[in-house]
Structure 1
Amino acid sequence: MAVGLGSRQAADEEARAEVEVLNSRLEKTRILNTKLAASLSRLEGSGKSVQEAIGPLYGNTHRLQVLGTNIDGIISAIERIRQPSDIKSNEEDIIRKGPEKAGLAAFLSSVKRVNKALSELRQTNLRSNQQAVADLTRLLKSGNTQLETHFQKILQEDSRPIEPLHFITKDKPFPMLSQDKTTRLGLINSYIVSANRQSGAAPGESPMLQVYAGVRGPYLTATLQNLAAASVNTAKKKTPDALYRQGTNGMGTYAKGMEGAFLAEYDNICALFSRDEWGKVFNLTCQGAISELARTLRELNSHIKANLTTDCYLAYEIIEIMSSLSSSLEDRTGELKPSFAAALKPVRETGKSSLAELLEDTRRRVSTLPMIPADAAAVPITSETMTRLQTMVDFLRPISSIMISLGDGGWKATAASNSSSDQIPSLNSFDVGADGKQIFAHYSIDTIDSLLAALEQKGKPLLKGKQALGVFLANNATIVDRMIRNSDLQPLLSSRMADVDKWRKNGAQLYTAAWREPCGHLLDVQYTNRGSQRPPSGSAAAIDSAAILKGLSSKDKDAIKEKFRLFNTSFDDLIAKHKSLNMEREVREMLARQVQQMIEPLYCRFWDRYHEVDKGKGKYVKYDKGSISAVFLSLS
């Protein structure tokens, strides 16, 4: 019991001790809180004092910072205001010296600096800089002008006219600008183009294009001027009526010179200018030379029109030469085709109209012939017309081009349809179904038909009798046939020879019509007595002329004698007429053969039956079979 009580007292004592410890700690905590509250109160008071002290100082510091920034801005502005004057002072001396004295590289660098400074100065938009902007603008303009002048001067050094024949005859390329000059010109052009782009100018509006064309254009014109003059001079002929011969005009050489000079110029341009400027510069540069070409072609065209029948071939040659030149330059440069087309148009129109005009000229010349040869000989206009067609074959390509543009038979329209465009047609540009050679063959046959029809019409009232008219037509048709077969016309007209042969056949029919009269005298009836048998017929050996005549009455015998007499008269007259006519060898052989085939069988039959009518005296029977055969042989 006592132990239990002691233990509990001990526990209570221990609890009281713990409570006392806790109370002691609470008191300390209260005292600490009191001190903290006092400290916070004092700190709050101190903070208000610090704020009141520091506030004005911070405001002053901020204002000082703003002021410093403004001062820096003012200093910077002052520097910018002073800069133009410094730039002008630094660059003006170089620009005044010019690119030659200062050196192109130094001059370009100076101008570029001025350009850059001017651009930056304009962006400041300060009123105080207006005078500086004006000064730098004048300085830059002066520098650009000097560069353009220098560019022009460098170009002129290599732009003295040259003798093109030297390069053409030796097959040498035309000279280009030297590499050194190309480099210097390229530097200047690059700067000017860049400056223009900065100023807002449209692409391709650089003044250097005009400067280049202004120097090189006259160079090209002067270089080619002698060739142009030679083309006109070589068109003049010593013999006015002589046909133009292919290649005798200077236009071919002129075109070669123009091609060489233009291609060299195009290479120069490609080395100096940007791709988008090539075409414009090239057209500007070549325009003067093409204008001179156009003037030359107009002068040649006037000559051709005044001598169309002899010089139409020059028109065809010019068309071929200029079309080839235009195509060649277009393939290489892509330019100038419209300009060449416009220059060529007058000659091309003359070439087109010449086809109809030559046909009309043929008819007109036949109609104005003062006479037809009495011996029915062929007239010179036939060979002249065929010579013209033969010569046309030498110019078949340009003529085919013209004929395709006219269309088959287009030459039958009026000679002045002339409704073409300014484009140079090429064979590849037409309908693939069109065949210029076939159209030319058609034109040739139309020409031949017009010629022979006009000759027939002219010969009818002037030649007496169908015999002479027939020989006349056959002669001219034979010359036509011969000149086709003995020339390059033959492959073109081989399928149309029947159109020519019909005229020769027409002539032969007219000629042989006159021989119907002696043929009529050789026709008879079979004379028989009522009681006798019909006279035998068949081979000569089976015919007994004496027996046949014995069965005839005196009146019938007299009729036979008259037939022989009339035949002899008519036959002799026709033979004499035949021998008096002037025939081409082929015509004489043809007509002799036809007359023989027509007369000899009839005469031999008649002779076999009735040659005993004059008992071999020859009074009525002038020809035996052998002698009449000899006569026919003499005709050929």
Structure 2
Amino acid sequence: MDDETAEIELLEQNLNKTRQISQRMTSILSSFDTRLVKLEKSILPLYNSTQVLTRRANNVESALQKIDEIASYHEGVAAEEALILRGPQPNQLSAYTEVLERMNVSVAFNSTDSRDKARLVESGAKKLIQLYTKLVAEGSSGVPPGGAEFTSVPFPASLMATLQPLVTFLRTLPLPATHPSHPAASGIQSALKDAQKGYGDMRGAWVRKCLETFGKRVVDRAETIDGVAAGTEVGKWTENMLSVADEEYNLLLDLAPLTTPAAISTTYATLISPLTNLFTSTLGSLGSLIKRNLNKNTFLALSAYSSLTPLQPRWNDIMSRRADRRENELKEGLHSIRASCLRSFPEFLADIRLAGLGKGGEVGTGLADFTISTVQYLERIPAVQDAAASALLTLGDGNWKMGEGTQIGKTKAAEVDEQTVLQHFTHDVVSATVQSLLTLSRTNKRPAFGAIFLLNNVSYLRTQVLVRPRTDVPAILSRPSQELLNSNFRTAKAGYFDANFSPLLQTLVDEKDKGKSAVKEKFTRFFDLLDEVTERHAVARVLTDDPDGRATVADEAVKLVVPSLQRFIQRNLGKEFSKNPQKYIKMPPEEVEALIKGFYSGGSGGSAPTVPAPEKMTNTLLQQAGWGW
């Protein structure tokens, strides 16, 4: 118990001490709190004053920064405005477009000075558009290409390097369709439309200038070179025009600021207008040339028609569809040329028939002009076979025989194909030529010369188009045409022998009067006629352009005359019809053979000269010609 009491007393003592300490701590804290309250009351005014001063200092600093920013902004705007008003420089194009782009963004976000900036954007855009027009003008000027072969002039690569980034930026400018509320959109669109129209005008004038020289050359050469070659050149020139137009269309797609389909087609139509005008005038000049002398220029028309027809699909695409045009100048030109082609066929036949009337004066024994022209005509047709056959089919089978009772338009095109109608036409050409030759040979007052004329011409016609053709003429000649040529050649050769050598043979025919005087008269008559034949062949050459034919005729003439002469001499030498047979037998058969072969010797030349009257053929003339003995 004592121990517990002692512990309790100890605890009470400690508790008292703790209470005393707590009281002292409470007293100290109360005193400290009182002092803090006093301190707070003393510091609070100073704190409030310090806050005001700090806020004022911050406001002053912010104001100074804002003033600096405004001053700097106005300096930048002034510099940018000066840059825009000065216009783009070749080496500062990117800086210029960046300034415009920033201003355009400010306008788009409706900044306080957006209207002023919009005016600057419009002004800058127009200066860029002026630069665009200037560069296009530089690339569309200079000396056009010349020479015999066409060469295109591509847009300069150095200008393209500047134009391409410029066009890329122009395509980003605000337009009413994309920025309806932009103050400068309508003005910029108007300037771009003018620039794009100017592009079409400048490029169109330039490409016409490049093609015009070659078009004039085509027209000039058409009067001097072969018609087929001239027509081919017309097609080549037109093909070059289409290639140039195609290149210009692709260039337009690269360089057009306005890229809507309507804007592209409108600009392209403006661009190709000078080309279509040039094509129309060039083809018009060729058409006038053809119509002035259709017979001479028939193959120019056929060749041009053949060369231009395959280009129609390209023309439809490049010159009509892309430009959204209804006009088709090539189609109209082909109609005009085809009309000339259709006229040429009946007119050619009519000229052949007219030549057969012999109104050109006395006919010689050489080649007639219409024979040569017929051969040339037939030789050229294979080169324009498709065009000729198509035109003939359009004209109608047989409708070229105008004036011979043919009913125009009654033949159905489906009844024959192009190959057949072409063979029908060439048959009529051959037939008309042969008929005219027959008529002229019969109207000759000297049948022997008429026979030589007929043989020369029929042989020439047959050789050139059938035996040794220089082109594929036999392919356009039907079997009846070939048989017609062969048959008339045989007939002409028989007529030639009959007119020139039959009188000789008739003198050697035995008659009832077999007296010496009759034999003398026969020999005299034979050699007199032989002299006439010799004189005739001195000036009337036979088959001058056919050495093989001359050799064949020479052999046949010898076989016709010499054996009969030999037999007649053998029959009468034994009868001693004369004491001096050499007086009547002026030449032995061997010399007669040599003489006849001499008729067909010598170099080939042109047609024989016009035959003079027989009474003017003297021995002196024969000796001068090398035929005397």
Match of 1:464 in 2: 445
Distance 1:432 1:479 in 2: 34
Match of 2:371 in 1: 382
Q: Is the 8 A contact 2:252 2:268 kept in 1?
A: yes
**1:507 maps onto 2:492 in alignment:** yes
1:179-212 deviations in Å (ceiling 9; x for gaps): 653454456457688718989xxxxx99977863
Give the counterpart of 1:487 among 455, 464, 470: 470
Cα 1:595–1:249 change in 2 (3 A) is closer
**1:450 maps onto 2:412 in alignment:** no
Give the counterpart of 2:282 among 296, 319, 324: 296
Q: Is the 8 A contact 2:497 2:557 kept in 1?
A: yes
Q: How many Å apart are 1:522 and its aligned residue?
A: 4.8
Q: How many Å apart are 1:470 and its aligned residue?
A: 1.7
Q: How many Å apart are 1:475 and its aligned residue?
A: 0.9
Match of 1:264 in 2: 247
Q: Is the 8 A contact 1:600 1:629 kept in 2?
A: yes
Q: How many Å apart are 1:329 and its aligned residue?
A: 5.6
Distance 2:527 2:148 in 1: 75
> What letter matches 1:267 in structure 2?
N
Q: Identify the range of structure 1 (560-569 vs 211-220) with the bigger mean alpha-carbon deviation.
A: 560-569
Distance 1:474 1:379 in 2: 12
Q: Identify the range of structure 1 (227-236 vs 294-303) with the bigger mean alpha-carbon deviation.
A: 227-236
Secondary structure of 2:177's match?
helix
Q: Is the 8 A contact 1:392 1:399 kept in 2?
A: yes
Give the counterpart of 2:340 among 345, 350, 354: 350
TM score, norm. by length of structure 2: 0.58
Match of 2:543 in 1: 584
Match of 1:215 in 2: 199
Q: How many Å apart are 1:298 and its aligned residue?
A: 1.0
**1:175 maps onto 2:155 in alignment:** yes
Give the counterpart of 2:526 among 568, 571, 576: 568
Cα 1:556–1:342 change in 2 (3 A) is closer
Q: How does 1:400-411 map to 2 (within 5 A)?
A: 402-403=391-392, 405-406=394-395, 409=398, 411=400
Match of 1:154 in 2: 132
Q: How many Å apart are 1:174 and its aligned residue?
A: 2.3
Q: How many Å apart are 1:328 and its aligned residue?
A: 4.8
Q: How many Å apart are 1:584 and its aligned residue?
A: 1.8
Q: Is the 8 A contact 1:231 1:249 kept in 2?
A: no
Distance 2:206 2:283 in 1: 17
Cα 1:432–1:229 change in 2 (3 A) is farther
Q: How does 1:429-448 map to 2 (within 5 A)?
A: 434-435=417-418, 443-448=425-430
Q: Is the 8 A contact 2:558 2:596 kept in 1?
A: yes
Distance 2:424 2:98 in 1: 70
Q: Is the 8 A contact 1:305 1:350 kept in 2?
A: yes
Secondary structure of 1:246's match?
helix
Give the counterpart of 2:272 among 282, 286, 295: 286
Distance 2:490 2:576 in 1: 39
Q: How many Å apart are 1:487 and its aligned residue?
A: 1.6
Identical-pair percentage? 15
> What letter matches 2:445 in structure 1?
K
Give the counterpart of 1:612 among 574, 578, 601: 574
Distance 2:517 2:300 in 1: 70
1:321-353 deviations in Å (ceiling 9; x for gaps): 544555556677865893332345434433443
Q: Is the 8 A contact 2:441 2:451 kept in 1?
A: no
Cα 1:556–1:313 change in 2 (3 A) is closer
Distance 1:482 1:194 in 2: 78
> What letter matches 2:328 in structure 1?
P
Match of 1:16 in 2: none
Q: How many Å apart are 1:294 and its aligned residue?
A: 0.6
CA RMSD in angstroms comes to 5.4
Cα 1:175–1:242 change in 2 (3 A) is closer
Cα 1:499–1:571 change in 2 (3 A) is same
Q: Is the 8 A contact 2:423 2:476 kept in 1?
A: yes
Secondary structure of 2:271's match?
helix
Distance 2:269 2:369 in 1: 50
Distance 1:215 1:280 in 2: 11
Distance 1:559 1:270 in 2: 105
Cα 1:490–1:143 change in 2 (3 A) is same
Q: How many Å apart are 1:629 and its aligned residue?
A: 4.4
Distance 1:207 1:356 in 2: 59
Q: Is the 8 A contact 1:366 1:381 kept in 2?
A: no
Distance 1:360 1:249 in 2: 27
Q: How many Å apart are 1:460 and its aligned residue?
A: 3.0
Q: How does 1:46-445 map to 2 (within 5 A)?
A: 151=129, 154-155=132-133, 157-159=135-137, 160-165=140-145, 174-175=154-155, 178=160, 180-182=162-164, 184-185=166-167, 188=170, 195=177, 212-225=196-209, 227-232=211-216, 235-236=219-220, 246=229, 251=234, 254-255=237-238, 257-271=240-254, 272=256, 273=259, 281-323=267-309, 326-328=312-314, 335=322, 338-364=328-354, 367=357, 370-374=360-364, 376-391=365-380, 393-395=382-384, 398-399=387-388, 402-403=391-392, 405-406=394-395, 409=398, 411-412=400-401, 434-435=417-418, 443-445=425-427
Q: How many Å apart are 1:257 and its aligned residue?
A: 4.9
Q: Is the 8 A contact 1:477 1:501 kept in 2?
A: no
Q: How many Å apart are 1:578 and its aligned residue?
A: 4.7
Secondary structure of 2:155's match?
coil
Q: Is the 8 A contact 1:173 1:264 kept in 2?
A: no
Q: Is the 8 A contact 1:244 1:314 kept in 2?
A: yes
> What letter matches 1:456 in structure 2?
L
Q: How many Å apart are 1:264 and its aligned residue?
A: 1.9
**Larger CA Rg, structure 1 vs 2:** 1
Match of 1:41 in 2: none
Q: How many Å apart are 1:290 and its aligned residue?
A: 0.8
1:22-74 deviations in Å (ceiling 9; x for gaps): xxxxxxxxxxxxxxxxxxxxxxxxxxxxxxxxxxxxxxxxxxxxxxxxxxxxx
Q: How many Å apart are 1:158 and its aligned residue?
A: 1.5
Q: How many Å apart are 1:558 and its aligned residue?
A: 6.6
Cα 1:387–1:569 change in 2 (3 A) is same
Secondary structure of 1:564's match?
helix
Distance 2:229 2:558 in 1: 47
TM score, norm. by length of structure 1: 0.57
Q: Is the 8 A contact 1:329 1:335 kept in 2?
A: no
1:65-98 deviations in Å (ceiling 9; x for gaps): xxxxxxxxxxxxxxxxxxxxxxxxx9xx99xx79
Q: Is the 8 A contact 1:362 1:451 kept in 2?
A: yes
Cα 1:282–1:355 change in 2 (3 A) is farther
Q: Identify the range of structure 1 (499-508 vs 512-521) with the bigger mean alpha-carbon deviation.
A: 512-521
Q: Is the 8 A contact 1:234 1:250 kept in 2?
A: yes
Secondary structure of 2:273's match?
helix
Which residues of structure 1 form unaligned runs of 5+? 1-89, 118-134, 200-204, 420-429, 526-553
Q: Is the 8 A contact 1:614 1:621 kept in 2?
A: no
Which residues of structure 2 form unaligned runs of 5+? 1-76, 89-94, 182-188, 601-629
Distance 1:351 1:115 in 2: 66
Distance 2:252 2:469 in 1: 52
